[in-house]
C-alpha cells in the first residue's frame, strides 16, 4: 500500500470491502491494510451505522448505507447515464441507437439517438413495442428460463406486427437459443416493415437484464450480416452501460 494513500481513500476501501466480504480477516486481505487500521475504520463505520455486525461476527450493510442506496437509486436518471455511451456508439456505427427498458411484457424506448443519415426511424421515446418483435425484447427474453418464456407467451401472446413477426412459441424458442449462443438478437422487419435492428441486453446493479440497446437501420441499407458486423461495438457499449448501472461487465 502506497504511503500516499489518504485516510479518506482507506475509509472508502474498507467500506467497499465490507460490502462484499463478511469476515474481518477477509476485509483485511482485500484492502491490504494493517489490521489495526482496518479495525479502527470499521469501528467508525459501525458507530455511524454504515456497517452492522451481525450474529456470528459477520459485517453487513447498515441502515445508513441502505438508506443512501435507496436515495441514490431514486435519483438515477438512466437516460442521462447512458447518453454519452450511446453518442459514441452512434458515431462509430452511423445508425440510430435505442435504449429500452422492460415494462411488463413490452419494451419502452427511453433513448433514441439518430445519426447524420437523411432519414429517421419511425420510433419515438416513450413508445411501447412487443418484446417478441424487437431486438431488445428478444435479447432480454433470452435471459429467461423456459418456464418464464412459456408464462410470457401465455400471458402476452405473440401478436403479428408484420409478415415477418414470430407467432409461435417454437419459433421464438429457436431464436432465443441463437441469441443465447451469439449474445445478440435481430429484428428482421418484425416490428416495422423495412426496419432492421440488432440488439443486446444490459444488466443493472441487481444483476437482472431489464434494459437493452439496439442499432437500427433500413433493410435496404444494411443486411443482417452487416448488422452482425456491428456486434463488437454493440457489445462494448452494452458492457460500458452495464458497468455504469452498477452491474458486472
Residue 75 pLDDT exceeds 80: no
Which pTM was predicted?
A: 0.74
> Alpha helix locations (H) across the chain?
7-20, 24-31, 35-47, 63-74, 78-93, 135-141, 146-156, 169-182, 224-228, 231-244
CATH number of the domain that residue 14 is part of: 1.10.10.10
Could you tell me which of 180, 187, 136 has the C-alpha nearest to residue 166? 187
Are residue 12 and residue 90 in the same domain, yes or no?
no
Residue 106 pLDDT exceeds 70: yes
Q: Which three cell numbers stand for residue 11?
A: 475509509
In the predicted model, what is the mean pLDDT of residues 136-157? 94
In the predicted model, what is the mean pLDDT of residues 81-93? 95
Res. 74 pLDDT band, cuts 50 70 90: low
**Is 134 contained in some domain?**
yes
Structural domain ending residue among the three candidates 22, 47, 74: 74
pLDDT digits (tens, 9 = 90+) for 232-245: 999 999 999 999 88
> Which of 11-20, 58-67, 90-99: highest mean pLDDT?
90-99
Res. 76 pLDDT band, cuts 50 70 90: low
CA-based torsion, 189, 191, 193, 199: positive or negative = negative
Are residue 121 and residue 24 in the same domain, yes or no?
no
- pLDDT at residue 117 in the model: 87
Are residue 105 and residue 136 in the same domain, yes or no?
yes
pLDDT digits (tens, 9 = 90+) for 171-194: 999 999 999 999 999 999 999 999
Structural domain ending residue among the three candidates 74, 100, 120: 74
**Is 1 contained in some domain?**
no
- Count up the domains in the chain and report the number: 2
Calpha distance 139→132 (Å, rounded): 9
Are residue 106 and residue 210 in the same domain, yes or no?
yes
Residue 217 pLDDT exceeds 70: yes
pLDDT digits (tens, 9 = 90+) for 151-177: 999 999 999 999 999 999 999 999 999
Mean of the per-residue pLDDT values of the chain: 90
Are residue 127 and residue 192 in the same domain, yes or no?
yes
Quote the crossing angle between the two packed helices 7-20 and 35-47, to the nearest 10°: 80
Residue 1 pLDDT exceeds 70: no
Structural domain including 44 reads 7-74
Cα 220 from chain centroid (whole Å): 30
- pLDDT at residue 100 in the model: 93
Q: Which three cell numbers stand for residue 126?
A: 416513450
In the predicted model, what is the mean pLDDT of residues 216-242? 96
CATH number of the domain that residue 116 is part of: 3.30.450.40
Are residue 52 and residue 117 in the same domain, yes or no?
no
In the predicted model, what is the mean pLDDT of residues 14-24? 89
Res. 123 pLDDT band, cuts 50 70 90: confident
In the predicted model, what is the mean pLDDT of residues 100-123? 90
Amino acid at each position: 500500500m502506497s504511503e500516499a494513500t489518504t485516510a479518506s481513500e482507506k475509509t472508502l476501501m474498507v467500506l467497499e470491502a465490507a460490502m462484499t466480504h463478511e469476515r474481518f480477516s477477509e476485509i483485511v486481505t482485500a484492502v491490504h491494510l494493517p489490521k489495526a487500521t482496518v479495525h479502527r475504520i470499521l469501528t467508525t463505520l459501525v458507530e455511524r451505522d454504515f456497517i452492522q455486525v451481525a450474529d456470528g461476527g459477520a459485517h453487513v450493510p447498515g441502515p445508513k448505507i441502505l438508506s443512501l442506496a435507496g436515495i441514490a437509486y431514486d435519483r438515477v436518471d438512466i437516460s442521462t447515464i447512458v447518453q454519452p455511451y450511446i453518442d459514441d456508439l452512434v458515431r462509430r456505427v452511423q445508425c440510430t441507437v435505442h435504449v429500452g427498458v422492460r415494462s411488463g411484457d413490452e419494451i419502452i424506448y427511453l433513448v433514441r439517438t439518430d445519426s447524420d443519415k437523411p432519414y429517421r426511424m419511425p420510433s419515438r421515446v416513450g413508445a411501447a413495442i412487443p418484446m417478441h418483435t424487437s431486438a431488445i425484447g428478444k435479447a432480454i427474453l433470452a435471459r429467461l428460463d423456459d418456464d418464464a418464456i412459456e408464462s410470457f407467451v401465455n400471458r402476452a401472446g405473440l401478436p403479428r406486427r408484420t409478415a415477418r413477426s414470430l407467432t409461435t412459441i417454437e419459433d421464438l424458442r429457436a431464436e432465443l437459443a441463437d441469441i443465447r449462443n451469439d449474445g445478440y438478437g435481430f429484428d428482421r422487419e418484425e416490428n416495422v416493415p423495412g426496419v432492421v435492428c440488432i440488439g443486446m441486453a444490459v444488466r443493472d446493479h441487481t444483476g437482472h437484464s431489464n434494459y437493452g440497446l439496439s442499432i437500427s437501420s433500413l433493410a435496404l441499407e444494411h443486411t443482417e450480416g452487416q448488422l452482425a458486423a456491428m456486434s463488437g461495438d454493440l457489445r462494448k457499449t452494452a458492457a460500458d452501460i452495464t458497468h455504469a448501472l452498477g452491474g458486472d461487465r
